[in-house]
A = this chain, B = another copy of it.
Protein backbone atom coordinates (compact mmCIF):
# COMPACT_ATOMS: atom_id res chain seq x y z
CA UNK A 1 0.00 0.00 0.00
CA UNK A 2 1.60 3.25 -1.10
CA UNK A 3 1.47 6.31 1.14
CA UNK A 4 -0.76 9.17 0.20
CA UNK A 5 -0.34 12.87 0.73
CA UNK A 6 -2.79 15.75 0.37
CA UNK A 7 -1.49 19.12 -0.78
CA UNK A 8 -3.88 21.99 -0.01
CA UNK A 9 -2.96 25.21 -1.74
CA UNK A 10 -3.94 28.59 -3.09
CA UNK A 11 -2.10 30.16 -6.04
CA UNK A 12 -1.70 33.38 -4.06
CA UNK A 13 0.54 31.85 -1.38
CA UNK A 14 4.30 32.22 -1.91
CA UNK A 15 4.91 29.45 0.64
CA UNK A 16 2.61 27.17 -1.37
CA UNK A 17 4.60 28.10 -4.49
CA UNK A 18 7.87 27.09 -2.80
CA UNK A 19 6.30 23.80 -1.68
CA UNK A 20 4.92 23.22 -5.18
CA UNK A 21 8.39 23.67 -6.67
CA UNK A 22 9.78 21.09 -4.24
CA UNK A 23 7.02 18.54 -4.70
CA UNK A 24 8.36 16.60 -7.72
CA UNK A 25 11.62 15.67 -5.97
CA UNK A 26 9.81 15.19 -2.68
CA UNK A 27 7.35 12.73 -4.22
CA UNK A 28 10.14 10.88 -6.01
CA UNK A 29 12.14 10.60 -2.79
CA UNK A 30 9.26 9.54 -0.56
CA UNK A 31 7.48 7.42 -3.15
CA UNK A 32 4.22 9.04 -2.01
CA UNK A 33 1.16 9.68 -4.11
CA UNK A 34 -0.45 13.09 -3.93
CA UNK A 35 -3.96 14.51 -4.05
CA UNK A 36 -3.94 18.19 -5.04
CA UNK A 37 -6.56 20.19 -3.16
CA UNK A 38 -7.32 23.71 -4.43
CA UNK A 39 -8.87 25.98 -1.79
CA UNK A 40 -9.57 29.68 -1.43
CA UNK A 41 -7.11 30.88 1.21
CA UNK A 42 -9.04 34.11 1.76
CA UNK A 43 -12.09 32.04 2.68
CA UNK A 44 -10.02 29.87 5.01
CA UNK A 45 -8.56 32.94 6.73
CA UNK A 46 -12.01 34.45 7.20
CA UNK A 47 -13.54 31.26 8.61
CA UNK A 48 -10.65 30.62 11.01
CA UNK A 49 -10.18 34.22 12.21
CA UNK A 50 -6.75 34.21 10.62
CA UNK A 51 -5.22 36.73 8.19
CA UNK A 52 -2.27 37.01 5.83
CA UNK A 53 0.90 37.45 7.92
CA UNK A 54 1.70 40.57 5.88
CA UNK A 55 -1.15 42.32 7.72
CA UNK A 56 1.29 42.54 10.66
CA UNK A 57 3.96 44.84 9.18
CA UNK A 58 6.95 43.58 11.21
CA UNK A 59 5.99 39.97 10.52
CA UNK A 60 5.42 40.64 6.84
CA UNK A 61 8.81 42.29 6.49
CA UNK A 62 10.53 39.35 8.16
CA UNK A 63 8.52 36.84 6.14
CA UNK A 64 9.67 38.26 2.80
CA UNK A 65 13.28 37.77 3.91
CA UNK A 66 12.51 34.32 5.27
CA UNK A 67 10.86 33.11 2.06
CA UNK A 68 13.75 34.60 0.07
CA UNK A 69 16.17 32.48 2.11
CA UNK A 70 14.17 29.32 1.36
CA UNK A 71 13.97 30.25 -2.33
CA UNK A 72 17.75 30.76 -2.49
CA UNK A 73 18.34 27.47 -0.70
CA UNK A 74 16.06 25.70 -3.18
CA UNK A 75 17.43 27.55 -6.20
CA UNK A 76 13.98 28.83 -7.12
CA UNK A 77 13.18 32.35 -8.41
CA UNK A 78 10.81 34.22 -6.10
CA UNK A 79 9.21 37.60 -6.73
CA UNK A 80 5.93 39.25 -5.81
CA UNK A 81 3.34 40.53 -8.26
CA UNK A 82 2.03 44.11 -7.99
CA UNK A 83 -0.76 44.33 -5.42
CA UNK A 84 0.40 41.28 -3.46
CA UNK A 85 -1.41 39.65 -1.67
CA UNK A 86 -3.64 39.16 -4.72
CA UNK A 87 -7.25 38.08 -5.06
CA UNK A 88 -7.15 34.52 -6.38
CA UNK A 89 -10.87 33.75 -6.61
CA UNK A 90 -11.02 33.47 -10.41
CA UNK A 91 -7.64 31.76 -10.65
CA UNK A 92 -8.66 29.13 -8.10
CA UNK A 93 -12.04 28.57 -9.70
CA UNK A 94 -10.27 27.88 -12.99
CA UNK A 95 -7.88 25.52 -11.18
CA UNK A 96 -10.60 23.38 -9.66
CA UNK A 97 -12.60 23.61 -12.88
CA UNK A 98 -9.74 22.05 -14.81
CA UNK A 99 -9.26 19.43 -12.12
CA UNK A 100 -12.93 18.43 -12.52
CA UNK A 101 -13.38 18.76 -16.26
CA UNK A 102 -9.96 18.42 -17.84
CA UNK A 103 -7.83 16.75 -15.18
CA UNK A 104 -4.90 16.21 -17.55
CA UNK A 105 -4.60 20.00 -17.88
CA UNK A 106 -4.80 20.76 -14.14
CA UNK A 107 -1.11 20.45 -13.24
CA UNK A 108 0.12 22.38 -16.31
CA UNK A 109 -2.29 25.19 -15.36
CA UNK A 110 -1.17 25.31 -11.71
CA UNK A 111 2.49 25.28 -12.75
CA UNK A 112 2.02 28.04 -15.32
CA UNK A 113 0.12 30.21 -12.86
CA UNK A 114 2.52 29.73 -9.94
CA UNK A 115 5.44 30.55 -12.25
CA UNK A 116 3.70 33.63 -13.61
CA UNK A 117 2.79 34.95 -10.16
CA UNK A 118 5.86 34.17 -8.06
CA UNK A 119 8.49 33.16 -10.62
CA UNK A 120 7.93 36.16 -12.89
CA UNK A 121 5.88 38.49 -10.65
CA UNK A 122 3.37 39.07 -13.47
CA UNK A 123 0.39 41.30 -12.77
CA UNK A 124 -2.57 38.94 -13.10
CA UNK A 125 -4.99 41.72 -12.16
CA UNK A 126 -4.59 42.68 -15.84
CA UNK A 127 -6.76 40.39 -17.97
CA UNK A 128 -4.46 40.85 -20.94
CA UNK A 129 -1.58 39.47 -18.89
CA UNK A 130 -3.71 36.52 -17.78
CA UNK A 131 -4.66 35.82 -21.40
CA UNK A 132 -1.04 36.00 -22.49
CA UNK A 133 0.14 33.66 -19.71
CA UNK A 134 -2.66 31.20 -20.48
CA UNK A 135 -2.07 31.25 -24.23
CA UNK A 136 1.65 30.72 -23.79
CA UNK A 137 0.89 27.67 -21.63
CA UNK A 138 -1.42 26.27 -24.30
CA UNK A 139 -4.77 27.27 -22.81
CA UNK A 140 -7.67 29.03 -24.50
CA UNK A 141 -8.32 32.09 -22.29
CA UNK A 142 -12.01 32.13 -23.25
CA UNK A 143 -12.40 28.51 -22.26
CA UNK A 144 -10.71 29.15 -18.89
CA UNK A 145 -12.98 32.17 -18.28
CA UNK A 146 -16.06 30.11 -19.03
CA UNK A 147 -14.85 27.38 -16.70
CA UNK A 148 -14.26 29.88 -13.86
CA UNK A 149 -17.80 31.21 -14.32
CA UNK A 150 -19.45 27.78 -14.20
CA UNK A 151 -21.74 27.50 -11.14
CA UNK A 152 -20.74 23.88 -10.50
CA UNK A 153 -17.09 24.86 -10.54
CA UNK A 154 -17.74 27.73 -8.13
CA UNK A 155 -19.54 25.30 -5.82
CA UNK A 156 -16.63 22.86 -5.98
CA UNK A 157 -14.23 25.53 -4.76
CA UNK A 158 -16.59 26.44 -1.94
CA UNK A 159 -16.86 22.76 -0.99
CA UNK A 160 -13.08 22.28 -0.92
CA UNK A 161 -12.62 25.44 1.14
CA UNK A 162 -15.29 24.33 3.60
CA UNK A 163 -13.66 20.92 3.87
CA UNK A 164 -10.30 22.57 4.55
CA UNK A 165 -11.80 24.69 7.33
CA UNK A 166 -13.63 21.71 8.83
CA UNK A 167 -10.38 19.77 8.96
CA UNK A 168 -8.52 22.57 10.72
CA UNK A 169 -6.64 24.19 7.83
CA UNK A 170 -5.78 27.82 8.62
CA UNK A 171 -3.03 28.64 6.11
CA UNK A 172 -1.22 27.47 2.99
CA UNK A 173 0.31 25.21 2.03
CA UNK A 174 -1.19 22.53 4.23
CA UNK A 175 -0.31 18.86 3.96
CA UNK A 176 -2.24 15.94 5.30
CA UNK A 177 -0.91 12.43 5.81
CA UNK A 178 -4.03 10.66 7.03
CA UNK A 179 -5.28 12.75 9.92
CA UNK A 180 -1.94 14.42 10.56
CA UNK A 181 -1.83 18.02 9.40
CA UNK A 182 1.32 20.00 8.57
CA UNK A 183 1.35 23.68 7.75
CA UNK A 184 4.08 25.32 5.72
CA UNK A 185 6.75 24.55 3.15
CA UNK A 186 9.08 24.52 6.14
CA UNK A 187 7.46 21.40 7.58
CA UNK A 188 8.03 19.07 4.63
CA UNK A 189 10.66 17.16 6.63
CA UNK A 190 7.95 16.22 9.14
CA UNK A 191 5.63 15.32 6.24
CA UNK A 192 8.34 12.97 4.95
CA UNK A 193 8.67 11.43 8.43
CA UNK A 194 4.92 10.90 8.62
CA UNK A 195 4.97 9.23 5.20
CA UNK A 196 7.79 6.94 6.32
CA UNK A 197 6.12 5.97 9.61
Contacts and interface: CB of A to CB of B under 8 A. Distances in A.
Interface of A: 48-50, 56-59, 61-62, 65-66, 69, 165, 168-171, 181-183, 186-187, 190
B49 A170 contact: no
B48 A57 contact: yes
A187 B184 CA distance: 13
Contact of A48 (B50, B58, B170): B58
Contacts of A66: 182-183, 187, 190
A155 to B, nearest CB: 23
B186 A62 contact: no
Contact of A56 (B48, B69, B190): B48
Secondary structure call for the A interface: helix
A62 B190 contact: no
A58 B168 contact: yes
A170 B65 CA distance: 14
A132 to B, nearest CB: 37
B169 A58 contact: yes
A181 B62 contact: yes
A105 to B, nearest CB: 32
A170 B50 contact: no
B170 A69 contact: no
Q: Which 7 residue pairs are nearest across A and B when measured between Cβ atoms?
A: A58-B170, A48-B58, A59-B170, A58-B168, A50-B56, A49-B56, A69-B190
A59 B69 contact: no
Contacts of A165: 58
Contacts of A65: 181
A168 B61 contact: yes
